[in-house]
Amino acid sequence: MNKNITETIKYIGVDDLDLDLFESQYIIPNGISYNSYLIIDEKVAVMDTVDARKYDEWHTNLLAALDGRTPDYLVVQHMEPDHAGGMAAIMEEFPAMKIVASARAVQMMPQFFEECDFEGRTIAVKEGDTLSLGAHNLQFAMAPMVHWPEVMVTYDATDKVIFSADAFGKFGALSHEEDWACEARRYYFNICGKYGVPVQSLMKKLAALDVAIICPLHGPILSENLEYYIGLYDTWSRYDVESEGIFIAYASIHGGTAAVAHKLAEILREKGVKRVSVADLSRDDMAEAVEDAFRVGTLVVAAASYDSDVFPPMRDFLHHLQMKSYQRRRVGIIENGSWAPTAGRIMRGMLEQMKDIEIVEPMVTIRSRMKRSDLPALESLAEALLA
């Protein structure tokens, strides 16, 4: 794809529709885009490269957009290989081109590209530094931990464009039209979720700029209704609740715990909760379960006991939440055990290590299969979740 963002900024990124797992862990049923841009002015700047997997396609786009010009600068906002993968080859092709990046990124470059000689090729920039291309005057703002420490974003006041690195990115190739929020939320919480505080710092910097177009490193270029996207990013990075509702995540071995989880969902719906969602942690997408947990204010975890611990898919889920700084939520617990239930104690312990988690009592214990005698306890838990 090669299209104009503005008269002088061109999109030269590529879609990746045949990658099995993004970052070797996230399913991407609709692919992903590696965005890259070219600014044509008295000087020419390439804004990031792409994953080496798609280098050839990107290179074709670059040459077409250059239309015979030569790039003076390659601005590297993020060293992760899905964006910096094309650096070495393009440096070799254009030996006069300088690399503009944060000092931390410059430090990282030889770690990824032993074969490159960076001597005299790099310009390390810091907060507020500018680079004039002619009519365009690029201004750099550091965005450490959004989502690596070397990240910076770039503002072009001429066209009111912010090149936002991974911020405002989403899963899904540009060739695939879909709702923005769903895959942007799954991307955000799984990739940047731990870094709410640094994202908030970046949001404050963005608030001081006059931005008309957001050019992220993944997903669509945003040029309308920016308050909507910025508002969601603000909510997410504050760890605020985005939607009403209750999310029930279960890890069930033989279906007994699954039946309890679905029964609780039924009770909650009968009590008027409009949005109750249920996930099977053994089979559903873990990244989506993480996203769903952050989206609402109330979570219920239901799991079988296993090896004097908790059934591993639940341990994995809670570990994911812990890593992503899950916080400020209410959580109900349901455990199952046929002889010595241990799941509840383990889940409670893991939840108690997270920040500002309120355990909603009573914890419900099921023995093997839900029985009529278990219903009052489930009713009590449902009432407490609604309180």
Q: Which of 41, 72, 82, 183 binds ligand FEO (CB under 6 A)?
A: 82
Shortest Cβ 303–ligand FEO spacing (Å):
31
* Interactions with ligand FEO, residue window 96-135 (CB under 6 A): none
State yes or no: residue 218 binds ligand FEO (CB under 6 A): yes
Q: Do the Cβ atoms of 95 and 88 come closer than 8 Å?
A: no
Q: Which of 16, 150, 166, 183 binds ligand FEO (CB under 6 A)?
A: 166
Shortest Cβ 34–ligand FEO spacing (Å):
8
Nearer to ligand FEO by C-beta: 63 or 197?
197
Shortest Cβ 83–ligand FEO spacing (Å):
6
Q: Which of 9, 38, 105, 217 binds ligand FEO (CB under 6 A)?
A: 217
Structure tokens at 144: 């450490």
Partners of 40 in beta bridges = 44
State yes or no: residue 54 binds ligand FEO (CB under 6 A): no
**Residue 91: which of 119, 61, 66, 130 has the closest Cα?**
119
CA–CA distance, 64 with 274 (Å, rounded to integer): 52
Question: DSSP alpha helices (H): ranges in 271-308?
Answer: 286-295
Which residues, in sequence order, are CB contacts of 189 under 8 Å at separation 6+? Answer: 236, 287, 290, 291, 294, 324
State yes or no: residue 9 binds ligand FEO (CB under 6 A): no
State yes or no: residue 324 binds ligand FEO (CB under 6 A): no
State yes or no: residue 315 binds ligand FEO (CB under 6 A): no
Partners of 172 in beta bridges = 32
DSSP 172: B
What is the Cα Rg of the chain in Å?
24
Stretch that binds ligand FEO, among 9-17, 76-84, 106-114, 130-138 (CB under 6 A): 76-84
Classified as helix, coil or strand, 317 is helix
Q: Which of 10, 43, 98, 147 binds ligand FEO (CB under 6 A)?
A: 147
Q: Do the Cβ atoms of 4 and 67 come closer than 8 Å?
A: no
Q: Which of 83, 186, 263, 320 binds ligand FEO (CB under 6 A)?
A: 83
Where does this chain bind ligand FEO (CB under 6 A)? 78, 80, 82-83, 147-148, 166, 217-218
